[in-house]
Amino acid sequence: MLTNPWSSVRIIFGGSIIALIAVALGVINWDVPYWFIHVVSVLFVFSSAILHQHRIYLYIVLIFIVTHLGVDLYISGRSFLLGSDAVQWLSIIAAGEVIHQISSQRRRVDVLSQRRIQELEVMNETLTSISSELELNSLLQTITERAVKLLDVTLGELLLFDKQTGEMEIVAQYPLDPDQIGFKMKPGEGAMGRVAVTKRPLILNDYKAFVNSLADDVTTGVEATLDVPLLKGSEFIGVLGVARHNKQHKFTHDDQRLLTVLASQAMIAIENARLYKDVRHLAFTDALTGINNRRRLFELLDEEYRRALRYQRPLSFMLMDIDHFKKINDVYGHAAGDEVLRWFAQQCGTGIRQKLDLIGRFGGEEFAVIYPEADLVSAIGAAERLRSQVSGSPIQYNDMELHITFSAGLASLPLDAEISFEQLIDRADKALYLAKEKRNCMAYWDNKKAMTVRTR
């Protein structure tokens, strides 16, 4: 079949006219029988019925009939339409229609088959990409992007339901509009809100006529939408939706079926990513204090160490030891000791630069703080502020007031020399050892020796 159907029309029409002229001349000048016109017409009528989706064959039949009539009148002065020739032409038309119907059905099947093959290929790529993604935010964005490409739409959004607030929040969008991320709506609002309530897919090919449609500044002028629920069993998790800005390109039930399959597989991937996040959190979190454990602390310090060396940026590291912690356990019990550890971790969390400094439990009653982008002078100031905060905030335990202090050892990356990751930790450890000899003080490494800074 020719890729351009109108090229086939030009070829068939051109060929039929040339053949028709030749046959007409043959009948007029060389006594070629009339039935030869039927034979030639059949070739072009049936070819056009097979090759073209429109009824082009009718025009070709009409040309042959008119030519036959003209030749007949020219030669014998009579019309064939009252004779057997009329029946033959009607038979050719009927046969052409049958062939056209069969060919049209075959073309529809071929188009549908090609579409199914393309959908399966895209679906396979989609499932492969989302099943291999374990980071939740990246996964949600990947799901949304794949939905847009799978259904050839102009917009895709994924909303997750928050049980605590009772609201749905846009967590992923493609193409991404940062202003839309974080937008919240309640179940029942808009098309996605309707899906949240019914837990059933919803096709709206005239979105603006929908009684609960949202404003244009929220929907960005979409004309047609298709939304399906994300369900974990019967539990509602969120909504995956796609939209088109062209009202003429409507969504079908086949589109709904495809998006529903994608949503069910996406839900499995989302649960896997959430489980991975929970397991990762448990693996990197100290169970008692809820802060980074020793393993995660070393990983974070290694990352910051490499970044500082690469970009020649300052970095400081501090080890802390709670003073007289063994005495607390012996006098007040291990439950009191656990409470002190939790309290101390909270004090450290509030006493550092948020989203920049990093804290972790080094082991036992020892804790650590990573100070990215802080040289020795800046880190000493931050450490002293933390010491003042801890010593000035007694902990209440069983109607008792416990005053807690700590000793600290601090080391920084020198700007004029390179030290190893292990040397940085070792310097902080040696400075801590010196500080613990006096208690409630801090010692730092000035890249030559450890020096003590007494409490103020």
Write down the pLDDT at residue 27: 63
Between 282 and 43, residue with greater pLDDT:
282
Instruction: Answer yes or no: is pLDDT of 125 > 90.
Output: no
Residue 355: which residues within 8 A CB-CB, separation 6 or more?
A: none
- Tell me what the pLDDT averaged over the chain comes to: 82
Handedness of CA 167, 172, 177, 179 (dihedral sign): positive
Instruction: Answer yes or no: is pLDDT of 326 > 80.
Output: yes
Write down the pLDDT at residue 111: 74
Residue with tokens 């010491």: 387
Write down the pLDDT at residue 450: 54
8 Å CB contact between 304 and 347: no
Q: Give the CATH number of domain 294-453; options: 3.40.630.40, 3.40.640.10, 3.30.70.270, 3.30.420.40.
A: 3.30.70.270
8 Å CB contact between 356 and 372: yes
pLDDT tens digits along 328-362: 999 999 999 999 999 999 999 999 988 899 999 99
> Cα separation of 402 and 336, whole Å?
10
> Exposed, middle or buried by CB within 10 Å (0-12, 13-18, 19+), for 335?
exposed
Residue with tokens 């020219």: 74
Write down the pLDDT at residue 26: 62
Between 17 and 305, residue with greater pLDDT:
305
Identify the CA nearest to 443 among candidates 360, 319, 344.
319
- Half-sphere exposure (CA, 13 Å, Cβ side) for 106? 11
Write down the pLDDT at residue 82: 47
Write down the pLDDT at residue 104: 74
Write down the pLDDT at residue 37: 64
Mean pLDDT of 288-307: 94
Least confident span in 83-87, 300-304, 386-390: 83-87
Mean pLDDT of 6-28: 63
CA dihedral 92, 97, 101, 103 (to 10 degrees): 40
Amino acid at position 88, single letter? Q
pLDDT tens digits along 67-81: 666 666 666 655 455
> Cα separation of 362 and 294, whole Å?
5
Mean pLDDT of 405-423: 89
Q: Is residue 351 classed as helix, strand or coil in its secondary structure? A: coil
Residue with tokens 């974080």: 182
Residue 409: which residues within 8 A CB-CB, separation 6 or more?
A: 318, 319, 427, 428, 429, 430, 431, 432, 433, 434, 435, 442, 443, 444, 445, 450
> Cα separation of 174 and 352, whole Å?
37
Write down the pLDDT at residue 358: 95
Q: How far is CA 40 from CA 17, 63, 424, in A?
A: 11, 12, 95
Write down the pLDDT at residue 301: 95
> Any idea what the Cα angle at residue 428 is, between residues 425 and 431, rounded to 5°?
150
Write down the pLDDT at residue 2: 44
> Exposed, middle or buried by CB within 10 Å (0-12, 13-18, 19+), for 368?
buried
How would residue 192 be classed by pLDDT, with cut points 50, 70 and 90? very high
Instruction: Answer yes or no: is pLDDT of 53 > 90.
Output: no
Compute the chain's Rg from CA coordinates.
40
Write down the pLDDT at residue 272: 84
Both tokens of 174, joined, read 């493609």
> Cα separation of 337 and 395, whole Å?
11
Write down the pLDDT at residue 368: 97
- Half-sphere exposure (CA, 13 Å, Cβ side) for 38? 15
8 Å CB contact between 267 and 160: no
Phi, psi at 51, each rounded to 5°: -85, -30
Write down the pLDDT at residue 42: 65
pLDDT tens digits along 138-186: 888 988 998 998 888 999 999 999 999 999 999 999 988 888 888 899 9
Helix axes 376-391, 334-350, angle to 10 degrees: 130
Mean pLDDT of 400-426: 90
Write down the pLDDT at residue 215: 63
Between 340 and 272, residue with greater pLDDT:
340
To which H or E segment does residue 372 belong? strand 366-372
Find which of 1-15, 26-40, 422-436 is predicted with most confidence, using mean pLDDT: 422-436
Both tokens of 422, joined, read 């292990």
What are the residue ranges spanned by the domains of the chain? 5-110, 136-282, 294-453
Instruction: Answer yes or no: is pLDDT of 64 > 70.
Output: no
> Any idea what the Cα angle at residue 80 is, between residues 79 and 81, rounded to 5°?
90
Phi, psi at 320, each rounded to 5°: -125, 145
- Domain 136-282 homologous superfamily, CATH: GAF domain (3.30.450.40)
Instruction: Answer yes or no: is pLDDT of 1 > 60.
Output: no
> Cα separation of 334 and 291, whole Å?
20
To which H or E segment does residue 101 belong? helix 84-131
Q: Is residue 435 classed as helix, strand or coil in its secondary structure? A: helix
Q: CA 448 from chain center: how many Å?
A: 52
Strand 167-174 and strand 155-162: pairing? Answer: antiparallel
